[in-house]
Chain A
Amino acid sequence: MYRYDSYDQSIVDARVEEFRDQVQRRLAGQLTEDQFKPLRLMNGLYLQLHAYMLRVAIPYGTLNGRQMRKLGEIARKYDKGYGHFTTRTNLQYNWIKLADAPDILAELATVEMHAIQTSGNCIRNISSDQYAGVAADEVADPRPWAELLRQWSTFHPEFTYLPRKFKICVIAAEDDRAAMRLHDIGLKLVSRGGQVGAEVYAGGGMGRTPMVAPLIKDFVPEDEIVPYLEACLRVYNRYGRRDNKYKARIKILVHELGAEEYKRQVEEEFAHMRELGLNPPTEELDRIRPFFANPTYEQGLSDSIDRADPAFALWVDRQVAAHRQPGHAIVNISLKPRGGIPGDASAEQIELVADLAEQYSFDELRVTHAQNLVLPHVKKSDLQTIWRKLDEAGLAEANLDLITDIIACPGLDYCSLANARSIPLAQKLSERFADTGRQKELGELKVKISGCINACGHHHAGHIGVLGVDRKGVENFQLSLGGSGAEDASVGQITGPGFSEDGVVDAIEKVTDLYLAQREEGERFLDTYRRLGMKPFKEAIYG
């Protein structure tokens, strides 16, 4: 885990004081809401339907027990006792009072956390692979790069008022667990001739115009990544559209120019940028790297697991992933209980996971873009104890990547942008498909629900995606099939006319029935869909 030094701490502390000053001016009436809005938005504070929402950054989804416990404490003290983990691996509090926001930020700063750039048209929280550092197939741990970029992007003076928000993702494995190519810029670390560098993808994104990012540079070495990204961002800042917020993301620029022309302009700017000495010396990455070194594992541990309890065995099969180290495992904690709100956790659950991380996972945990949690370094001999504690807290659902492991945005229950409620639909789907055997039979099936066109629920990337729209004052749900946020990234296709809330649950049942009837050996839902195409699914739904 990265630890702040006095420089990092002083920058975060200064931000707390700055924001305290801004809030005091607002509360004293010296700032109007119009004047205050851009200031609070630079710090992740949104005015939602019922209250202020505060979005806390969890850089590259990694945190320690102390930080997690603080998140629970804040939930209890300043919220209604809940936190909501998001698809950006951040945490949102939905019931915040404006007057409390500076104190919350001050509390976060005591555990090296902040809400800097969790909103606004700037570079947002850098995301990464939840298995970083323990994934068997990774080239290097991507998090030192992500931390380097966190620092570089923090209060970047040239890129604070971009045409639109900007999301960067860094991964280092063939398996893409972080939807890298659906980011404004995606970096994939690769090794060439013994040197680690990044493939750069630019212009991906969701929203109303989903795009899978094309490769624009096949290798940028670590000592040139900052000037290369500055070149990418400068071209975007200068030429990205500002006349229409829905066409302002970099994906539209890359699409309108063409990837080749965008790349040419970036190369031209890069040729200039690389002369300016913008990149921190390689010693800086070398300074950061040891913070992410893996812990000293106990040697000679057994790989055997006592599977006598069938419920435990089921959970192990679903939630536990292979670790590089013998005798160890990666534990996925589902935040998708039957009928629950995807990504929500109570203060007590948050604190329990903090305890588990400290006791059993070398004080480390991860947040995933699918709104779940991960304990990355667990001894297999501790699995049963962990499972029992999770089960007591309602956190032992065994549904990783199954049909009830649903991604959903907060939707119209909270969000002022939403057209439809995502949460009740997610809950109904979760109930409809609750049967364990049926879920297992359906296998990997990623369902993603967005309550409006902004696509925070990643519906375009769902094997099954649902988009809530407003049709003449009535909530209506459009179904799409065939999306993927993984290494085989693709954008889903709309099936046809939309449905009511119950209607879309029925339609999803029909497409899954068709899949079960038509699948060939070893095919996931997505594979069957890709082989058969939309037609039979459409007939099953509307025929």
Chain B
Amino acid sequence: MGPGPLSPTDIFAPVSTPAQSIFELSLFVLSTAAAIFVVVFSLLVYAVVRFRKRANDDGREPAQVYGSTQVELAWTIIPVLIVLVLFLTSARVIFSVQDAVRPPEALQVTVIGHQFWWEYRYPGLNIVTANELHVPVSEKGHPTPTFLKLLSADTDHSFWVPRLAGKTDLIPNFPNSTWIDPHEVGVYEGQCAQYCGTQHAKMLLRVYVDSREDFERWVSRQRQPAQVSEAVAQGRAIFERTACINCHAVQGTAANGTFGPDLTHLMSRDTIASGAAPNTEAQLRRWVENPDSIKPGSKMPAMGLDTHELDAVTAYLVSLR
């Protein structure tokens, strides 16, 4: 594998087959381009130095050369051959990545892009979550890839986690799909790559590649309905009485809105607002009080809660493990 990536979003540090195939192709394309560059660059430098007008020039015009059929033929045929090779190698990767057959044991996730967050539905597992995608690691000998169906609830978005795969757009009324098979446990970062409006910049992506056991644990936890606790009854009452439930869902309660992220297991996530802030009690409170202070232009309005209500609601949210 070599030394660590230069960045968590380095396209040259793949951990999944689509990104790996692209990486190998890119090395070939880059070296071809570099070779052409070196040759032409050197000729240009040589021409600039060798054929500049000298101070002691006699003022006569140089020999006028109008063309040369052999030279022009050569520098047509060679580029055509280079293009042919680049084309064939690219075509091979297009087909191998785009037309990969989904194996029956693949995990299927439906990704729905929203302004400015990501919804994840695991249809086979009856799970709905948001912003942080969990997938099982895929061993090289026994691959368990994840196939993602890509939909959009509003405008165009693009799912781009560079170390896992090239980007694929989420276009309303035009379902797409992509796949990943990460072979290293870890957290992989990315973000929306198609301008979708005001907060396009903070529609961040985090993909958690879990070991098989961790993934099973995560799944079974996500499938539970929300934990009910009397200690946060007041906060829950405010949550269900104000417009929160118009947008948010908490499984097992009256809240079943779908415009915003599902909050059933909110505290199982590391970040809120699609990565715009860490998931701490203080940040949660700040987000609920005034979303524009973290992500101005996000679709969540400030609900105008007073200090007491804010404390209660925050305590309720923090209880949603």
Do chains A and B interact in one complex? no
> Footprint of A on B, CB under 8 Å?
none
> Footprint of B on A, CB under 8 Å?
none
